[in-house]
Structure 1
């Protein structure tokens, strides 16, 4: 069977992260949503997404296909239903389609003609940016169970202090000595070739992905995900970093999400709680205004390729778009548009040519090329987000 992940109606409420990737390639827990589905299904997947992303994330269509709403995370019960789908059948949860069978010859999909299969069990659904950190604990547990089932962890080094050692899994090539690991509140997963430097204290749930680095003396509170090739220091609490991003120094990051290729300067701090303890409002790209989150704790949402200088301070509930560069004293405003250059005293436009120069240098350090396709995606985002910038 051919499985295709589609963005679904939540795509715009997951901006700025979905400016540069399909919903399927968001990371929550240990794996991306695509990696989760592929692990459960035993097949690779392709994607239906925005036209400007299609060259990097193409769709492969066959005679018979199962379309899957990427906002829903897989579990064993759901995957069994998805694998069993036949012609003119669709799976629904609370009137929203999770998956449906389609043939190449179908021009239009009319679900009134489909047999509706209701999925009554619990399932994690990612509808808003803040779901990525607020539902991360559940996602880490599900990924931990999936990835470690029937496997044996590498031995925990004798220099490591542990609580609930049975809830800790170390992959091959990971290096850690003289650290404290407390997995009593949730699992701790330590990925391949990752490094936890001495003096670090970690309280799970934690997903430390392949080749990630935790620097000396860091304090990590779960549920937290440190994506592949990320570097982390200082204090982190309930945050998700997708991949290739750095928070390498002292400072606090809490109840936050960082995309790829982000960098936080030394002593950067974000607030995650308002002084009056009121509900946090966050910029909504759908309504183009600030919207209620229902959360008391909510920190920083930062899109791909964005960076900030030393001693940067972010207010509670700040959204930073793609390819922004923030520096200077004081608090920048709670919504920093994509391709912005500046800080609390004001912003100018950060032109794509300059963005590409920096991105090429940054990515080359990881032996990754900024391709013409990547540039075209960023140029599209630049044009799409012009309306938010005020020079």
Structure 2
């Protein structure tokens, strides 16, 4: 069977992260949504997404296909139902298609399908940007169970204070030095070739992905994921770094999400609670206004390739687009459009030639290439987001 992940109805609600990736390539828990599905299905997947992303994330159609909503995280129940789909069958949750069978070239009309309602209570979806951190606790627990089943952890080194050791898993090549690992509230996963430096204090659920680093003396609270080859330091609470991003210095990050190739300058902080304790609103690209999150704690959403200078201060509920460069004193606005350059005193347009020069250098430092395909995607984002830049 051929499995294809599609963006579904929530793609625009997950901007700025879906400017540069399909919905299925959002990281929540230990793995991306795509990696979760590939793990439980035992097959690789392809993607139906926006045209400008399709060169990097192509779709492969075969004679028999099952399409899966990329905003849905797999569970054992859902995976079993998806595997069992046959011709003209679809799984729905209320009015939303979760998965359906399609023949090659078939025009899908759900009126002609047998609709199977998903009634289990274990359905988890990423429908809003803030779901990425608010549902991260449970997502880590699910991934931990799948990834560690039937496997043996590397031994916990001497000098490490470990609480609830059976819920701590250390992959091959990881280095863990004289730190505290408290898995009493949820599991702790330490990925291949990752490193936790001495003096760090970590509470689960927590995921440190492959090749990532926790700097000396870091304080990491529950529900946090540090994505592959990222660096994290200071104080972090219930936040997700997708991958190849750095928050390597002192400063507070709370209830926040960073895309890939982001960098926080030293002593940067974000607020995650309003002074009046009111629910937080976040910029909504679809309505072009600030949407209710219903959350009392909500910090910063930062798109791929965005960066900030030392001592930057982000207010509660701030959204930063793709490839923004922020610096200077004071609080920048709660919505900073993609390809913006500046801070609280004003913004100018960050031209693509300059942005691409930086992206090439940053990626080369990690042994990766900034390709023509990457440039085309960011050129599209630059044009698509011009309406929100003032100059």
If the TM-score is normalised by the length of the shorter chain, which range does it land in? over 0.9
Shift of 1:123: 1.0
Shift of 1:377: 0.1
Partners of 2:216 and 2:176 lie apart in 1 by 11
Q: Report SS of the residue matched to 1:82.
A: helix
Tell me the equivalent position of 1:256.
256
1:207-261 CA deviation, whole Å, 9 max, x = no partner? 0000000000000001000000000010000000000000010000000000000
1:96-134 CA deviation, whole Å, 9 max, x = no partner? 11000001131x211111001111112110000000000
Tell me the equivalent position of 2:197.
197
Tell me the equivalent position of 1:284.
284
Write the mapping of 1:1-391 to structure 2, written as runs, cut at 5 A. Answer: 1-106=1-106, 108-121=107-120, 122-391=122-391
Shift of 1:381: 0.1
Q: Report SS of the residue matched to 2:332.
A: coil
Partners of 1:146 and 1:268 lie apart in 2 by 35
Moved over 4 A (4+): none
Q: Report SS of the residue matched to 1:158.
A: coil
Q: Output the TM-score relative to the length of structure 2.
A: 0.99
Q: Report SS of the residue matched to 1:207.
A: strand
Q: Report SS of the residue matched to 1:373.
A: helix
Partners of 1:105 and 1:332 lie apart in 2 by 49
Partners of 2:144 and 2:339 lie apart in 1 by 37
1:45-92 CA deviation, whole Å, 9 max, x = no partner? 000000000000000000110000011000111111100100000001
Q: Report SS of the residue matched to 2:10.
A: coil
Q: Output the TM-score relative to the length of structure 1.
A: 0.99
Partners of 2:115 and 2:52 lie apart in 1 by 32
Shift of 1:5: 0.1
Partners of 2:25 and 2:70 lie apart in 1 by 9
Shift of 1:198: 0.2
Q: Report SS of the residue matched to 1:291.
A: strand
Paired residue total: 390
Partners of 1:177 and 1:241 lie apart in 2 by 22
Shift of 1:158: 1.3
Partners of 1:118 and 1:387 lie apart in 2 by 40
Shift of 1:177: 1.5
1:4-62 CA deviation, whole Å, 9 max, x = no partner? 00000010000000000000100000000000000000000000000000000000000
The gaps in structure 2 that reach 5 residues or longer are none
Partners of 1:314 and 1:116 lie apart in 2 by 46
Partners of 2:18 and 2:297 lie apart in 1 by 23
Partners of 1:295 and 1:94 lie apart in 2 by 24
Partners of 1:47 and 1:28 lie apart in 2 by 18
